[in-house]
Structure 1
Amino acid sequence: MEYGTDVKNRVKRIEGQLRGLTKMMDENKECRDVVTQMTAVRNALDRTAAVIVSQNLEQCIREEKQNGESTEDLVKEAVDLLVKSR
């Protein structure tokens, strides 16, 4: 699968959030603020995983339909991937 600029930019933003988290810890910021930042990073990762799965699913469904094959297993696999990522 080819990853687009939008997905790569999401990952770069997450990387920046992680650097910010490390800086917060180095500066002994409040627990509440650190955990809030961790939650933001986790949510950003979850959203990025969802984007990747949905883009891949869309592409795979098109290919399966062109080949006349069932797409049911693909959808189940995509849902399983999303569930596992949480």
Structure 2
Amino acid sequence: MHTLGGYGMYVNGYDSNKDDLQQRLRRIEGQVRGISRMVDEDKYCIDILTQVSAATKALETVALSLLGDHLRHCVAEASAEGGQVAAEKIREANDAIARLVRS
């Protein structure tokens, strides 16, 4: 997130990608509701696991998109400033990557 024109307004790195992210998240929400319905209907375990895997991959795609936007905008801007701000943004990005890899 960075300041827009010094007016105290903030713009997230994903701002230009927001509609696509929202569309993807709505699709994932539908997938998760479908998985819940499959469990309610006692569907075959492997079929449910297949849908869980698809939803997981879809969430990973959203996460990678957000991470890429963060690196291109927030981290790049902080790196241009340098100093402690840059170090903090790089640490945040590193921690986010570590969480994604562990999951």
Equivalent residue number for residue 77 of structure 1: 92
**Which of residues 1, 15, 18 is equivalent to 2:29?**
15
* 1:1-80 alignment, distance < 5 Å: 1=12, 2=15, 4-67=18-81, 69=82, 71=86, 74-80=89-95
Structure 1 position 63, deviation (Å) = 1.4
Runs of 5+ consecutive residues of structure 2 not aligned to the other structure: 1-11
* Aligned residues of 1:49 and 1:82 also touching (Cα < 8 A): no
**Aligned mates of 1:11, 1:74 — CA distance in 2:** 25
For the Cα contact (< 8 Å) 2:38–2:48, is it kept in 1? Answer: yes
Q: What is the Cα deviation at residue 74 of structure 1?
A: 3.4
Structure that is richer in strand per residue: 2
C-alpha RMSD of the superposition? 2.0
AA aligned to 1:49 is A
Q: CA deviation at 1:7?
A: 1.0
Q: Percent same amino acid at aligned positions?
A: 32
Stretch deviating more after TM superposition (2-11 or 20-29):
2-11
TM-score where L is the length of structure 2: 0.68
Number of residue equivalences: 85
